[in-house]
Chain A
Amino acid sequence: MSTTPVIEVEQLNVTYGDFHAVRDLSFQVRRGELYALLGTNGAGKTSTLETVEGHRTQTSGTVRVFGQSPRNRRAVRPRTGIMLQESGFTPDLTVTESVRLIGTLTRRTDRVERVLDIVGLTGKAGTKVSQLSGGEKRRLDFATAVYGGPELLFLDEPTTGLDIQSRDALWSTVDRLRENGTTVVLTTHYLEEAQQYADRIGLMHRGTFHREGTVAELTRALPAVIRFGLPAPAPALPLPAMRERDGRYLVETFGLQKDLYTLLRWAEDHGLELRELAAGPTGLDDVFRALGDA
């Protein structure tokens, strides 16, 4: 097995007229990894993803997928499954016809029935695409992406518009593909998904990486948080805390265990109830909120 990364991006720049969508971005995705590109709206995720998929030409920099230019469709696409952000199916074809057409064009081999079964669209096999719901279209899109078990899978906001069962089903399919060594590149608005499934995360902000690393690395760089409410009036707090808009208190700490103990003992000593007490590591939500403030 080669150790060459599946995706190599070096000094990528994408501009539209005066707008610099991606600036000097470099990253690699190793074989078998699930890499999540996250970011605020307009952060440059889609521009980056579309360049790596081969849908867009970069302004400068190099992008290699399987050691090739992603625009070399004949070489790269038979090994790649792509789930686009917007479905892109033609309304007058049926579900089966759509999967068969796109599946055949990937040059991978598979059975349409098997793929429809995976995404739970067997009952809609003969239905025209124009009569599918939004969620069903997303599942159809996913079906064409996983047709023939690609080595590399791009998922652009795959679970947007899916109900919770479909979302779980999608992730269990991704898990099975990953057991067979499939590399996955993901963008999502659901931070808990990235937190749960991604090996590494590239957190984009204004066209460049704000942070990149494993979920643990990203959250470790930020303080843990304790939140609680107090009855008024209350004695002076034992720790520096911020008053949040809803009247609750927020403590940020790099020594969660020690500070939590201090707080609990103080409350016990004063006979106070800490309402809706919550303590834990910073989630990606907080990383995002920190970006918004930046």
Chain B
Amino acid sequence: MLSIALSELIQVFRNRLVLVTSFVIPVVVSAYFVYQHDVFAETASLGYIAAIVTFTVCAFGLYAGSVTTLASRRQNLFLKRLRSTAAGDAGILTGLVLPVTVVALVQVTTILTAFAMVTTAPKNVVLLVVAVLATVVMMVGLALATAGLTNSPEHAQVTTLPVTLGVIAVASWVGISGTDDLTLLKRLLPGGSATELVVNAWNGGTAMTDSLLLLAPTLAWVVVAAALAARLFRWEPRR
């Protein structure tokens, strides 16, 4: 698993297109939000900026990057090659998505740390960590499911759009307008409750028990994504 992860990391840094679309763009967008935090904090809150940074990195870097990688490895039969060895399926998938996941976590951590330094520290760091991790797991699950519907790395540019744009839209909607109205809908949408969780963790003022309840929809999306992935994921190209 670690040898697969290492080789993936090498490839990420050799492939400039992946590097730019998956890692540079999310950082640039996030940096813009952090830089303009006064403007965004006025319309929403500092917590909203933390949420949009988390989702930008997770949607473009982690999610779209994973789908592109998996589709590309399947298309050139590298997945089949890996399955010709003693490595198990779970180890192969973990190895393939591990580098992108670690890079995304490092990005989120770095940007949010910088954000905390230029503004104020999050009120509840533990909750923030839990919220970010839950979001990461959900996005990886959705990536595996989407990869099953994606025939090629080029095709990934289309197949990833609904989820990337969807979660960014949900995060913005929930982050800016809050969950006082249409509460149930906002919390059930993918990324909705995770956004609220990040916002609460950063801004504070919410009871821990109330916040932990918000984990339930996020984890439910993890289960849905895992079930979809189990049904949709393919190891070999369609003939």
Q: Is the CB of B3 within 8 A of A104?
A: yes
Q: Is the CB of A77 within 8 A of B85?
A: yes
Q: Which of A55, A78, A92, A107 contacts B10 (CB 8 A)?
A: A92
A104-B3, A105-B3 as given contacts; A88 in contact with B78, CB under 8 Å: yes
Proximity bits, A91-108, B CB within 8 Å = 1, else 0: 111000100111011110
Total interface residues in chain B, CB < 8 Å: 22
Q: Is the CB of B4 within 8 A of A105?
A: yes
Q: Is the CB of A101 within 8 A of B88?
A: no
B209 within 8 A of A: no
Q: Which of B10, B79, B84 contacts A97 (CB 8 A)?
A: B10
Proximity bits, A29-62, B CB within 8 Å = 1, else 0: 0000000000000000000000001010000000
Q: Is the CB of B76 within 8 A of A105?
A: no
* C-alpha gap A144/B11 in the complex (Å): 19
Q: Is the CB of B10 within 8 A of A88?
A: no
* C-alpha gap A82/B77 in the complex (Å): 14
Interface of chain B: mostly helix, strand, loop or mixed: helix
A275 within 8 A of B: no
Q: Which of B11, B77, B79, B88 contacts A93 (CB 8 A)?
A: B11
Contact residues in A for B80 (Cβ distance below 8 Å): 55, 84, 88
Give the one of A86, A88, A93, A144 with max B CB within 10 A.
A88
A172 within 8 A of B: no
B223 within 8 A of A: no
Count A-B contacts at CB 8 Å: 68
B39 within 8 A of A: no
- The chain A residue sitting closest to B73, CB to CB, is A90
* C-alpha gap A86/B78 in the complex (Å): 10
* C-alpha gap A53/B11 in the complex (Å): 28
Contact residues in A for B82 (Cβ distance below 8 Å): 102, 105
- The chain B residue sitting closest to A91, CB to CB, is B76
Q: Is the CB of B78 within 8 A of A92?
A: no
B83 within 8 A of A: yes
Contact residues in B for A84 (Cβ distance below 8 Å): 77, 80-81, 84
24 contacts between A and B (CB under 8 A): A53-B84, A73-B83, A73-B85, A73-B86, A74-B88, A77-B85, A77-B86, A82-B84, A84-B84, A86-B77, A87-B81, A88-B79, A91-B76, A92-B10, A97-B10, A100-B3, A101-B3, A101-B7, A102-B81, A102-B84, A105-B86, A105-B87, A107-B86, A144-B81
Q: State the 10 A-B residue pairs at the shortest beta-carbon distance, nearest first.
A: A88-B77, A105-B85, A88-B81, A77-B86, A82-B84, A92-B11, A92-B14, A90-B78, A105-B87, A107-B86
Excluding A84-B80, A89-B81, A144-B81, 18 further A-B contacts by CB distance (< 8 Å) are A53-B84, A55-B80, A55-B84, A73-B83, A84-B81, A86-B77, A87-B81, A88-B79, A90-B73, A92-B15, A93-B10, A97-B7, A97-B10, A100-B3, A104-B3, A105-B85, A105-B86, A105-B87
